[in-house]
């Protein structure tokens, strides 16, 4: 019993001490000010941390109520915070400027939140900026124009009848129209969801754009059409434009009283999607992870991360952006991405892979095919059939090719290693800025035609491990062309190499061939 | 240029690394600025490099005959005063006589002394004396192995290095090696964290001939080596940032950005700026992807995000003509940021 009491006291002391160590000091103060303003004047509010409520009403006076809350781990830091945070009220009757002033480099140990409640004449223009983090920014019953630029928080627009422009990064944007919209609204966000609630008899042209989210409405949207990822539709008889754009969130225009669950996707209403390059962004975003597909695998999404372990049939994948990873494909493989890396395993049928940007790695292309990226590295471990490899900028590396190899990059090195079991293979390799390295077995036979075009002939050279090749130099404008031609080991398939401002290496090496396991 | 002559006099000494650091730097700077001296310097280097490869040839008989004909007495012009042997001083003749007599006496005495024959006995090893490490004499022909700990981390001047190779002979220990050709083949060994090794790698990354394919290998090697080092030296990431900013080869820039992403822990302000700059302006979308991925990783780890970086990410996420994947990654990075 005595032990239990001692243990209890020890735990209590420990808990109280940890609470003491974690304690913080805080202070809160409230300021209220009144300023005259023209009924059609402007109010600018700049508040990095804290909520803002702007409420329209009658009269020609602005009433500002600001509550400043400071927290710090100790009294000294709290004092420092108090000295460094200032509320500023500037301007005249035409423009009133309300600001929270913070030092440019502040001590991260203290925090500040200033919550403003500002009552304004209904007709003023409101501009809110510099908001980094706000629980909410609310503007209500304002007939003037409203502009909000913030980083994160919930933006609520209630009964705003003037033109509005909102630009947010994270959070959420909610519009609640008290009456039919009479001025245009422009809402742009990166990660925020945008929801607009409008009266059922509203008339407007709706422009919506999202890549990762969806476009939803409970209105009867007419004349819907897509231009890339941008949707254009008409509600009622149309008229003013409501533009909603969120990169990663959803955008929705809803009849007041309805809810999001009842809304229809504008993408789903599209007629049967015919896959043509560029319109993949109409597809909704998806993420898929499958260990095994017993048959063909067909997939299309605007933003998608695709991981499939094995496809027993053909694979056809189309994405706007994302990473694609396929383990093994027994049939043909066709992967097109507008951007993102492709990681492909053992492809037994013919291969077509393209990405708008990113690296492409192919472990084995048994029948060969075409692999292209507009920018990125191309790495193929085993090429069993003829292959065409292209990069808009980036290295191309082939660990072993056994059939015709055609590799070209706008800028980067090309490194190709031939199958040592093959006596002769046709090769074409080009780089417009970089080096070419061709590794072959010492008994490799070919007709060599290698060219370097360089502005620095002292630096760029041919490095050839084979005899029987003639090297000539000639001046072409302000550049020097170094050309090596001849037959090695008696001649064979044509090997054509071209490098600008780089070296060419044809290296004779005793190579270890790659052997692939047979599929089960 | 007025000082070209003196600089050209320095070139042979520069070639053999015999100049003092101040003059070496001065000469290098002059060569970089003076096109004529660049040509001269290139010619020097080329001549130097082919000297070893040139075979020694006998003078052709025809040339030899012509040369002798040129210098034969028949060709001497009459106004040249004939050479006449002058009599040596008398004391010199006496000294020579003394030397001959003394030498003859020694030789005669040695011939008449009976020779002592020693019975051959098997050699026995009684002790092994530890060989003292000899001070490596400078030789342009030899290969030298230098421990990183014994060399200064300060690289003076801008030596022209070529044929850089990386070795990790024993992966189980923490020693790595970097070898290169300068005027001799030098291998520097040490730990990846040794300051001299860091400085050397930085020099390799920033100064090796830009067209060399080993530049790309150097970056690969840095990534694989320093991925296992807990807290790599910031100089490595700064060197990669310089490569990302300055290299013409897009493949090299892609690798530099990718390596910076993997060496996140030692990201400096300069490195972040280089990534932001690459995200803003690099024409290659793959470089921009690597840059935005690195910044997204930084944001996820709670790293410092300055306003310029946030602004760039914001613009990229909203930029309609940017690659969609870059936009998505920029948005992801923004979603991880907690404003402070």
Q: Report ipTM for this prediction.
A: 0.82
Contacts with A429 (C-beta within 8 Å, 6 or more apart), sequence order: A396, A405, A406, A407, A408, A414, A416, A436, A438, A496, A497, A498
**Residues A190, A209 contacting (CB under 8 angstroms):** no
**Inter-chain CB proximity A108 and B340 less than 8 Å:** yes
Put simply, the answer to whether B335 touches A170 (Cβ < 8 Å) is yes
Q: Is the pLDDT of residue A176 over 80?
A: yes
Average pLDDT of chain A, as a whole number: 89
The mean pLDDT of chain B is 73
Q: Are strands A146-158 and A164-168 parallel, antiparallel or unpaired?
A: parallel
Q: Pick the more confident residue, B150 or A339.
A: A339
Range with the poorest average pLDDT among A377-391, B117-131, B160-174, B230-244:
B117-131
Rounded to the nearest 10 degrees, how much is the dihedral formed by the CA atoms of A384, A351, A409, B163? -40
For residue A477, count other CB atoms closer than 10 A to its CB.
Answer: 8
- Check residue A12 and give its pLDDT: 55
The pLDDT, as a whole number, for residue B133 is 40
Q: Around Cβ A367, how many Cβ atoms within 10 Å? A: 17
| DSSP-derived secondary structure for A418-443 | E-TT-S---EEEEESSS-EEEEE-TT
In whole angstroms, give the CA distance from residue A57 to residue A54: 10
Backbone φ and ψ for A448, nearest 5 degrees, come out as -95, 135
Q: Are A450 and A506 a contacting pair, CB within 8 Å?
A: yes
CB contact under 8 A, A190 and B331: yes
Q: Which residues of B touch A502 (CB under 8 A)?
A: 211, 213
pLDDT-based confidence at A341, cuts 50/70/90?
very high
Interface residue of B286, B317, B326, B330 to substitute, partner A, most A CBs within 10 Å: B286
> What architecture does CATH give domain B210-340?
Alpha Horseshoe (1.25)
| Rounded-to-integer distance, Cα B248 and Cα B210, Å | 8
Cα–Cα separations (whole angstroms), residue A170 to A149, A248, B317: 11, 10, 12
Contact of A121 with A57, CB cutoff 8 Å: yes
- E-assigned strands of A159-285? 164-168, 172-176, 185-189, 193-198, 204-210, 215-217, 221-227, 230-235, 241-246, 251-255, 264-265
pLDDT, mean of residues B197-213: 75
Q: Domain limits of chain B? A: 4-49, 141-209, 210-340
In sequence order, which residues have a C-beta less than 8 Å from that of residue A15 and are 6 or more positions away? none
Confidence at residue A22, expressed as pLDDT on a 0 to 100 scale? 52
Report the pLDDT value the prediction gives residue A121, as an integer from 0 to 100: 95
Is the predicted pLDDT of residue B120 greater than 70, yes or no? no
Task: State the DSSP H helix or E strand holding residue B245, giving kind and residue range, or none if neither.
Answer: helix B234-246
Give the Cα-Cα-Cα angle A503, A509, A510 (nearest 5 degrees): 165
| C-alpha span between A414 and B251 (Å, rounded) | 10
Give the chain B residue nearest A132 (alpha carbons).
B339
Provide mean pLDDT across the span A151-169.
94
Categorize the per-residue pLDDT at B131 as very low, low, confident or very high, splitting at 50, 70 and 90: very low
Greater pLDDT, A119 or A75: A119
Q: Which two structure tokens, joined as six digits, stand for A368?
A: 């060969």
pLDDT reported for residue B191: 83
User: Please, which residues have CB within 8 angstroms of residue A286's CB and are 6 or more apart in sequence?
Assistant: A299, A301, A303, A304
pLDDT bucket at B83, cuts 50 / 70 / 90: very low
pLDDT tens figures, B1-53: 557 888 888 888 887 777 777 787 788 888 888 888 888 888 888 787 777 66
% of chain B with per-residue pLDDT over 90: 11
pLDDT of residue A484: 95
A64, pLDDT greater than 80? yes
Q: How far apart are CA B76 and CA B161, in angstroms?
A: 52
Closest CA to A340 of A325, A365, A312, A359: A359
The answer to whether B288 faces chain A, any CB pair under 8 Å, is: yes
State yes or no: pLDDT of B75 exceeds 50: no
- CB contact (8 A) between residue A458 and residue B42: yes
Q: Is A79 helix (H, G, I), strand (E, B) or coil?
A: helix
Helices (H) and strands (E) in chain A, counts: 2, 42
Task: Convert the pLDDT of each residue in A71-101 to its tens digit.
Answer: 888 888 888 888 888 899 999 999 999 999 8
Alpha helices per DSSP H over A68-128:
75-84
Query: In A, which residues are within 8 Å of B42 by CB distance?
Result: 458
Smallest Cβ–Cβ distance between A169 and the set B216, B326, B334 belongs to: B334
pLDDT in tens, A255-265: 999 999 999 98
Given this model, what pLDDT does residue B180 score?
80
Q: Do B286 and A359 touch (CB under 8 A)?
A: yes
Higher pLDDT, A1 or A289: A289
Output the pLDDT for position B54: 65
Distance, CA of A424 to CA of B334 (rounded, Å): 53
Which among B213, B285, B317 has the least Cβ separation from residue A413?
B213
Contact of B205 with chain A, judged by CB distance below 8 Å, is answered with no
- Out of A190, A395, A415, the one facing B317 most closely (by C-beta) is A190
Judge whether residue A169 has pLDDT over 70.
yes
Res A13 pLDDT > 70? no
pLDDT of residue B126: 36
CA dist A52 and A116 (Å) reads 5
Using the predicted structure, report yes or no on whether residue A326 has a pLDDT greater than 60: yes
Average pLDDT over residues B187-216: 77
**B170-188 average pLDDT score:** 78
Closest-CA distance, A59 to chain B, in angstroms, reads 37
pLDDT over 50 at B171, yes or no: yes
Quick check: B112 pLDDT over 60? no
Chain B 123-162, residues with CB within 8 Å of chain A CB atoms: none
Confirm if A340 and A320 have CB atoms less than 8 A apart.
Answer: no
Contact A433 B250 (CB under 8 A): yes
Residue scoring higher pLDDT (B93 or A265): A265
Q: Is the pLDDT of residue A399 over 90?
A: yes
Distance, in Å, from the CA atom of A395 to the CA atom of B279, rounded to the nearest integer, reads 20
Query: Closest Cα partner for A372 from A388, A390, A358, A386?
Result: A390
The yes-or-no verdict on residue B130 having pLDDT over 50 is no
Q: What distances in angstroms separate CA B100 from CA B97, B109, B111, B281, one per listed residue?
A: 5, 14, 17, 88
- Nearest C-alpha in A relative to B213: A435
- Of the pLDDT bands very low, low, confident and very high (cuts 50, 70, 90), residue B200 is confident
In this complex, is the C-beta atom of B308 within 8 Å of any C-beta atom belonging to chain A?
A: no
Residue A487: predicted pLDDT: 95
pLDDT higher than 60, residue B140: no
> Which candidate from B46, B286, B337 shows the least CB-CB separation from A376?
B286
In whole angstroms, give the CA distance from residue B209 to residue B201.
Answer: 14
Higher local confidence (pLDDT), A242 or B123:
A242
Name the residue among A390, A491, A397 with its Cα closest to residue A438.
Answer: A397
Say if residue B339's pLDDT is above 80: no
In chain B, what residues touch A149 (CB-CB under 8 Å)? none
Average pLDDT over residues A404-414: 95
Beta strands in A84-124 (DSSP E): 86-91, 95-101, 111-121
For the segment B252-272, what is each residue's pLDDT rounded down to a tens digit? Answer: 899 999 998 888 777 788 888
CA distances from A53 to A119, A136, A142, A145, B34 (A): 8, 8, 12, 16, 67
Q: What is the mean pLDDT of residues A134-147?
A: 93
The string of pLDDT tens digits covering residues A426-449 is: 999 999 999 999 999 999 999 999
Q: Are A319 and A303 in contact (CB under 8 A)?
A: yes
pLDDT at A271: 52
């Amino acid at each position: 019993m005595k032990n239990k009491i001692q243990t209890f006291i020890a735990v209590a002391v420990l808990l109280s001490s940890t609470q003491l160590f974690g304690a913080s000091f805080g202070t809160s103060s409230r300021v209220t000010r009144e300023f005259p303003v023209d009924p059609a004047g402007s109010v600018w509010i700049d508040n990095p941390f804290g909520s803002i409520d702007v409420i329209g009403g009658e009269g020609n006076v602005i009433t500002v109520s600001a509550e400043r809350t400071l927290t710090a781990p100790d009294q000294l830091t709290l004092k420092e915070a108090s000295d460094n945070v200032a509320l500023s009220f500037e301007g005249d009757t035409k423009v009133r400027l309300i600001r929270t002033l913070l030092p440019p480099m502040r001590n991260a140990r203290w925090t500040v939140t200033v919550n403003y409640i500002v009552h304004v004449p209904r007709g003023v223009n409101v501009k809110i900026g510099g908001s980094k983090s706000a629980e909410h920014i609310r503007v209500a019953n304002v007939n003037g124009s409203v502009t909000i630029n913030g980083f994160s928080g919930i933006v609520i627009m209630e009964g705003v009848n003037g033109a509005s422009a909102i630009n947010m990064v994270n959070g959420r944007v909610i519009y609640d129209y008290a009456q039919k919209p009479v001025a245009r609204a422009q809402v742009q966000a990166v990660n925020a969801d945008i929801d607009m609630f409008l009266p059922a008899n509203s008339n407007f042209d709706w422009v919506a754009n999202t890549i990762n989210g969806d476009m939803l409405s409970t209105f009867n949207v007419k004349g819907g059409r897509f231009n890339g990822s941008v949707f254009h539709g008409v509600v009622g008889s149309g008229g003013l434009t409501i533009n909603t754009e969120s990169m990663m969130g959803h955008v929705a225009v809803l009849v007041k009283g309805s809810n999001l669950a009842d809304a229809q996707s504008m993408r789903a209403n599209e007629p049967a999607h015919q896959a043509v390059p560029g319109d993949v962004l109409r597809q909704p975003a998806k993420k898929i992870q499958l260990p095994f597909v017993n048959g063909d695998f067909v997939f299309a999404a605007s933003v998608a991360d695709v991981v499939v372990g094995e496809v027993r049939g053909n694979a056809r994948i189309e994405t706007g952006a994302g990473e694609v990873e396929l383990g093994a494909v027994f049939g043909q493989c066709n992967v097109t991405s507008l951007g993102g890396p492709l990681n492909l395993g053992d492809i037994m049928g013919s291969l077509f892979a393209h990405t708008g940007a990113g690296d492409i790695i192919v472990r084995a292309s048994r029948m060969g095919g075409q692999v292209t990226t507009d920018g990125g590295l191309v790495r193929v471990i085993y090429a069993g059939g003829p292959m065409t490899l292209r990069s808009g900028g980036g290295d191309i590396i082939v660990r072993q090719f056994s059939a015709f190899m055609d590799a070209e990059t706008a800028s980067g090195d090309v490194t190709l290693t031939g199958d040592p079991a093959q006596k002769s293979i046709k090769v074409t390799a080009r780089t417009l800025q970089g080096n070419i390295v061709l590794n072959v077995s010492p008994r490799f036979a070919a007709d060599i035609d290698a060219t370097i075009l360089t502005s620095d002939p002292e630096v760029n050279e041919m490095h050839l491990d084979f005899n029987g090749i003639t090297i000539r130099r000639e001046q072409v404008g302000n550049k020097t062309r170094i050309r090596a031609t001849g037959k090695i080991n008696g001649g064979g398939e044509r090997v054509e190499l071209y490098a600008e401002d780089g070296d060419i290496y044809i290296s004779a090496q005793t190579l270890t061939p790659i052997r692939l396991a047979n599929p089960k | 240029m007025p000082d070209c002559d003196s600089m050209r006099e320095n070139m042979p000494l520069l070639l053999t690394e015999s100049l003092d650091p101040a003059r070496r730097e001065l000469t290098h700077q002059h060569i970089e600025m003076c096109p004529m001296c660049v040509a001269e310097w290139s010619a020097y280097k080329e001549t130097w490099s082919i000297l070893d490869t040139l075979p020694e040839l006998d003078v052709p008989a025809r040339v030899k005959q012509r040369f002798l004909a040129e210098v034969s007495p028949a060709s001497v012009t009459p106004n040249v005063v004939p050479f006449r042997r002058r009599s040596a001083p008398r004391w010199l003749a006496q000294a020579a006589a003394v030397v001959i007599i003394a030498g003859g006496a020694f030789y005669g005495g040695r011939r008449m002394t009976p020779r002592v024959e020693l019975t051959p006995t098997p050699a026995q090893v009684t002790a092994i004396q530890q060989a003292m490490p000899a001070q490596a004499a400078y030789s342009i022909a030899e290969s030298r192995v230098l421990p990183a700990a014994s060399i200064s981390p300060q690289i003076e001047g801008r030596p022209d290095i070529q044929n850089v190779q990386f070795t990790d002979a024993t992966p189980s220990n923490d020693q790595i090696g970097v070898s290169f050709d300068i005027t001799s083949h030098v291998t520097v060994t040490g730990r990846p964290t040794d300051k001299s090794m860091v400085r050397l790698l930085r020099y390799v990354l920033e100064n090796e001939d830009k067209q060399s394919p080993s530049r790309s290998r150097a970056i690969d090697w840095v990534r694989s080596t320093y991925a296992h080092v807990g807290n790599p030296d910031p100089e490595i990431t700064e060197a990669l940032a310089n490569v990302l900013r300055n290299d013409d080869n897009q493949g090299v820039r892609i690798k530099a950005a990718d390596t910076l992403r993997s060496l996140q822990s030692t990201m400096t302000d300069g490195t972040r700026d280089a990534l932001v700059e690459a995200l803003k302006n690099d024409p290659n979308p793959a470089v921009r992807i690597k840059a935005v991925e690195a910044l997204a990783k930084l944001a996820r780890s709670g790293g410092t995000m300055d306003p310029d970086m946030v602004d760039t990410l914001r613009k990229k996420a909203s930029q309609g003509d940017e690659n969609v994947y870059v936009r998505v990654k920029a948005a992801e990075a923004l979603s991880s940021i907690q404003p402070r």
